[in-house]
Amino acid sequence: MTRTCLAVVLAAGDATRMKSSKSKVLHAVGNLPLISHVTRAAAAAGVNKLALVVGRDGDLVTDAARAGIDVPVAPVVQTERKGTGHAVLMARDVISEGFDDIVVLYGDAPLINPDSLTAAISERSKGADVVVLGFRADDPTGYGRLIERDGELIAIREHRDASAEERAIDFCNGGVITFSGREAVNLLEAIGNDNVKGEFYLTDLVEIARARGLKCVAIEAPEEDMMGCNTRAELAEIEQVWQARARQAAMLSGVSMIDPSSVFLSHDTVFGNDVMIEPNVWFGPGVRVGDGAVIHAFCHIEGADIGPGAMIGPFARLRPGSELGEKSKVGNFCEIKKARVGAGAKVNHLSYIGDAIVGPAANIGAGTITCNYDGQNKHLTEIGAGAFIGSNSSLVAPIRIGDGAYVGSGSVVTMDVPDDALAIARARQETKPGRAQRLREKISAIKALRRKPASESDQ
């Protein structure tokens, strides 16, 4: 018989220690909100439904939790903060729908691995009534300890309440707990608040369950999986771990990185085979890189589709809507925005191409810009196949440069250029023999006059 599982995700905490105007779980790792990492892990582990306990920014948190998953999400509001046990009980109505397993997750712990959740749920199916995920810590100071006897978990002891013997234990509480859906409401309602803070602690569930003759066990997961976020410093630490995992996965899939630690990826970055990435490259959301592409150093890329064999940078910026064809090239100090660059086309250096279509094999000279914005609206520039745009040209949109057309260097082009035509849009050069010497003499005289004392120049 297929088991059913409800994930209760606690996401109602404030961002007090984050010093933030938005909910803590809306802060991002890998350009994805913390809460989205957690709900996607739960969905990947096979849960059937999520009960999302929200407080501040509840609608935004719910939207982020639902993004990218096809598992139903039921938001419930926690208006008072009375501890983790109280928070889980806010989902009483959803829990009462009837599930074999309940797994409690934290919305600020984005590194949780679906495999760890699957292992906990699987352990429940073997007969345990309560399963706690723990980790081994080199320095367990501050963590709750998992107290075991004869292969069973008998208690979770907070560090401040632990004896010297218990503090020597390095098996620590990771926070994730799975328990029987049939017993869930009764267990949760039995949690009291007879403690210094007067709060209802979910960790008390273990001793309550054992007092009722239920079996409790702890299983081990990597410490990284359990990392939670309370401050921006901890957010940065989690980002480092996530980036290391993402880089490792990319390299194992066939991507080369000269200096992996200087490359930053997003949750949805997609690479083909044999991609080469040089140091100091940042990938924002929505980037796809085709087979054999080369990303040179110091590039900033987001919302871009880079074709097979394309070459980018160094020092290039690709903004959202950039589409680069096969073996195209965008060189140093170029910016591309909402533009389609055809196969084999070259935008080699010091150019801005925005709201444009660049045909296959076209060549864009240095310093070329598409003048796409009139102060209120954006307009399209079309550059035909095999066209050649001379250096330092300004193409004032809306405009079309035809297939095989040439634009002379330094031109300001305001009208369409037909196929195979030559357009020169600049003032005619005039040469004045000897005029340079007279100009220098005039400039020198003006400079000398400015240096004279005021009293002398007034005489």
Strand partners, 301: 283, 318
Place 459 in a pLDDT band, splitting at 50, 70 and 90.
very low
Residues 240, 382, single domain; the answer is: yes
337 exposed, middle or buried (CB, 10 Å; 0-12, 13-18, 19+)? buried
446 belongs to a structural domain: no
Residues 114, 149, single domain; the answer is: yes
**Region of poorest pLDDT, from 60-69, 141-150, 316-325, 338-347:** 141-150
pLDDT tens string 268-286? 999 999 999 999 999 999 9
Q: Write the single-letter amino acid at 176.
A: V
User: What is the Cβ-side half-sphere exposure of residue 426, based on CA atoms within 13 angstroms?
Assistant: 17
Mean pLDDT score, 286-290:
98
Residues 179, 255, single domain; the answer is: no
128 belongs to a structural domain: yes
Confidence check: pLDDT of 329 > 90: yes
Mean pLDDT of all residues in the chain?
94
Place 455 in a pLDDT band, splitting at 50, 70 and 90.
low
Residues 306, 241, single domain; the answer is: yes
Task: Report the catalytic residues.
Answer: 349
Residue ending a domain, among 226, 256, 291, is 226
351 belongs to a structural domain: yes
Contact 225, 116 (CB under 8 A): yes
Instruction: Tell me how far CA of residue 72 lies from CA of 7, 59, 220, 354, in angstroms.
Output: 11, 15, 29, 40
Residues 114, 131, single domain; the answer is: yes
Place 296 in a pLDDT band, splitting at 50, 70 and 90.
very high
In the chain, % helix, strand, coil (3-state, to 5) comes to 25, 30, 45
Tokens of 127: 């007969």
Confidence check: pLDDT of 395 > 60: yes
403 exposed, middle or buried (CB, 10 Å; 0-12, 13-18, 19+)? middle
85 belongs to a structural domain: yes
Q: Write the single-letter amino acid at 27.
A: H
Confidence check: pLDDT of 450 > 90: no
Instruction: Tell me how far CA of residue 392 lies from CA of 40, 91, 215, 365, 420, in angstroms.
Output: 48, 64, 76, 7, 20
Place 427 in a pLDDT band, splitting at 50, 70 and 90.
confident
pLDDT tens string 34-71? 999 999 999 999 999 999 999 989 999 999 999 999 99
pTM of the predicted structure, to 2 decimals: 0.90
Confidence check: pLDDT of 454 > 70: no
pLDDT tens string 98-118? 999 999 999 999 999 999 999
Mean pLDDT score, 169-187:
93
User: How, if at all, do strands 130-136 and 171-180 pair?
Assistant: antiparallel
Cα-Cα-Cα-Cα dihedral sign, residues 212, 214, 215, 218: negative
Give the CATH number for residue 382. 2.160.10.10
Residues 180, 37, single domain; the answer is: yes
160 belongs to a structural domain: yes
434 belongs to a structural domain: no
d(C-alpha 284, C-alpha 357), whole Å: 23
Give the CATH number for residue 135. 3.90.550.10
Residues 215, 238, single domain; the answer is: no
In the prediction, which pLDDT does 356 show? 98
Residue ending a domain, among 197, 226, 255, is 226
Residues 184, 240, single domain; the answer is: no
The single-letter DSSP state of residue 230 is S
In the prediction, which pLDDT does 81 show? 84
Confidence check: pLDDT of 378 > 90: yes
* Cis check: omega of the bond before 110, within 30 degrees of 0: no
Q: Percentage of residues in the chain with pLDDT exceeding 70?
A: 98
Total domain count for the chain?
2
Q: Which domain covers residue 323, as residue numbers?
A: 232-423
Q: Write the single-letter amino acid at 4.
A: T
153: closest CA among 187, 176, 129? 129
Confidence check: pLDDT of 1 > 60: no
- For 313-335, b where at least 16 C-beta lie within 10 A, e where not — what string? bbbbbbbebbbbbbbbbbbbbbb
pLDDT tens string 138-153? 889 889 999 999 999 9
Residues 241, 141, single domain; the answer is: no
The single-letter DSSP state of residue 55 is B
Residues 206, 295, single domain; the answer is: no
